A = this chain, B = another copy of it.
């Protein structure tokens, strides 16, 4: 039997030098533990996804050179490392490659066959596929090597996600005949609350079909919007041993003495963990330490404040409370209570003086027109000025607090409350925000009940309520989920029992505000279909259906 090291590391995209050192150091640790094979994740050399850095010749050459450097460090140990290789033939210039390294040599290369090109994935933009399975004998064992999507075959994934094809090529069928002793899959599979179980099912399916243990190593780390959760795993006939989620983990697995463990894929806990990790690693990789956000007294900003405090430490989070003439009395008191309960510092600065001055100055160019959405947006934009000024002056980084329901329906002010370096809740529906709030309160009342119970309002005009403009959130979110995550048609959704007029209204809103989302911050992705790079809708369009 072979001893494996599942090297679940957190890479920085582009930092080939740093990633290389990290890999070498893990190999050295693995060697001390008498490991036979140290396994690293997909594109570990350059971090995933490198996007168009893959067109940069200096980047390509440095990535390739790094592989040889690592090979030289593999003394009496085998390492399987994800990197890029040149395609010297026609087609795309590169392969997405798993290198098998030992004693200064690249003893084998496997090029990825199935290149995900849907949702957030664009691999066909960069890589040429290759349909040559690799089974290599190492220490007298037959080791099959695959890369991530390669296992997402028809036989294992009969109901593919939106945009994912049923691939013709089935590597499992090809490998079966070769009866490998182990199957290794190196991956860069981002988190979603459905992916954690789906991924396990695929791997378990592969284990059953090939009747050999599976060694799966996933990347961990936050790459702007994409949260890679890790969850690397060894699976055999008797169970599995799974690594940490949302943390680096260098796990030694000896098939002779496996400590089987288990994980509970509780979605709301995973969403909480993912968002905290999302903030934390985004800040770390950017060398940011402190966050600023606006606290309205509402539930969204309250939840973001706590997530930020849990990610960065409460002492690194500062809040601005920016009441206006339309703010309810409780908006400030609730926000203060939230800060006090969670040891978050805050300042109160009214937007009223600047708002009044702006109204006065703009009066001549408003041509006597009545107050309308203009004045609402001005308020939201003055708050953005305050927050960005605090950010610029003190180096705190602005967290956006919009939720997915608002982003979907355009219920927010561009250059106002839509500002921020990263959107924490932009992939979390309002109803899920409530769930998160209850989860945060499971031990003690971190979020005052009044914040959870109050009627949602933007407080930009007298007695405004979200429900003046939007359907109740339980209904809105239900319809949005069908439209976005399930890609159902309007007709399907009406047939499923939703009110026709409401469905049409939500559909129209969803496709009306793509222009706002275009200029929104990157959104931490926790669902199978988030706003951003994985959902590409034309801005200028007419939908005639």
A interface list, Cβ under 8 A from B: 12-18, 47, 49-53, 55-59, 62, 89-93, 117-118, 122, 124-126, 128, 154, 162-163, 165-168, 222-224, 282, 285-286, 320, 347, 349-350, 353-354, 357-358, 360-362, 364-367, 369, 372-374, 377-378, 381-382, 384-386, 388-390, 392-394, 414-415, 419, 421, 487, 489-491, 515, 518-522, 533, 535-545
Contacts and interface: CB of A to CB of B under 8 A. Distances in A.
B421 A392 contact: no
A91 B165 contact: yes
B51 A421 contact: no
A489 B58 contact: yes
Contacts of A18: 542, 544
B347 A365 contact: yes
Contacts of A47: 538, 541
Nearest to A393: B374
B377 A388 contact: yes
A52 B491 contact: no
A14 B543 contact: yes
Given A122-B536, A224-B540, A545-B59, A353 B362 contact: no
9 smallest beta-carbon distances between A and B, as pairs: A17-B544, A15-B542, A124-B124, A374-B392, A14-B541, A90-B168, A58-B489, A51-B536, A357-B357
Nearest to A124: B124
Contact of A388 (B415, B490, B535): B415
Contacts of A58: 489-491, 545
Nearest to A376: B392
B389 A362 contact: yes
Given A358-B354, A366-B393, A373-B392, A540 B286 contact: yes
Given A93-B165, A381-B384, A487-B55, A361 B349 contact: yes
Contacts of A373: 392
A13 B540 contact: yes
Contacts of A419: 415
B544 A16 contact: yes
Contact of A520 (B382, B394, B519): B519
Given A154-B90, A361-B349, A381 B385 contact: yes
Given A154-B90, A382-B385, A540-B285, A365 B377 contact: no
Given A53-B537, A90-B166, 19 more contacts: A14-B542, A15-B543, A17-B544, A49-B538, A51-B537, A51-B538, A53-B538, A53-B543, A55-B162, A122-B122, A122-B125, A285-B540, A349-B361, A354-B357, A354-B361, A378-B385, A378-B389, A388-B414, A518-B522
Contacts of A50: 538
A362 B386 contact: yes
A56 B15 contact: no
A293 to B, nearest CB: 14
Contacts of A367: 393-394
A304 B260 CA distance: 66
A545 B66 CA distance: 12
A332 B343 CA distance: 49
A17 B374 CA distance: 34
A166 B385 contact: no
Contacts of A520: 519
Candidate in A52, A53, A522 with the most chain B CB atoms within 10 angstroms: A52
A385 B365 contact: no
Contacts of A53: 537-538, 541, 543
A15 B544 contact: yes
A202 B47 CA distance: 38
Nearest to A369: B393
Contacts of A382: 385
A118 B374 CA distance: 40
Contact of A390 (B165, B365, B393, B544): B365
A365 B518 CA distance: 32
Contacts of A522: 518, 539
20 contacts: A12-B542, A14-B543, A52-B163, A53-B537, A53-B538, A55-B162, A55-B163, A57-B487, A91-B168, A124-B125, A126-B163, A223-B540, A347-B364, A347-B365, A372-B393, A382-B385, A388-B415, A518-B521, A518-B522, A522-B539
Contacts of A286: 540
Contacts of A394: 367, 369
Nearest to A350: B361
A192 B385 CA distance: 37
A20 to B, nearest CB: 9
Nearest to A351: B361
Candidate in A92, A223, A384, A415 with the most chain B CB atoms within 10 angstroms: A415
Candidate in A17, A386, A421, A536 with the most chain B CB atoms within 10 angstroms: A536
A515 B58 CA distance: 22
A385 to B, nearest CB: 5
Given A518-B522, A519-B520, A519-B521, A62 B544 contact: yes
A256 to B, nearest CB: 40
Contact of A538 (B93, B224, B350, B357): B224
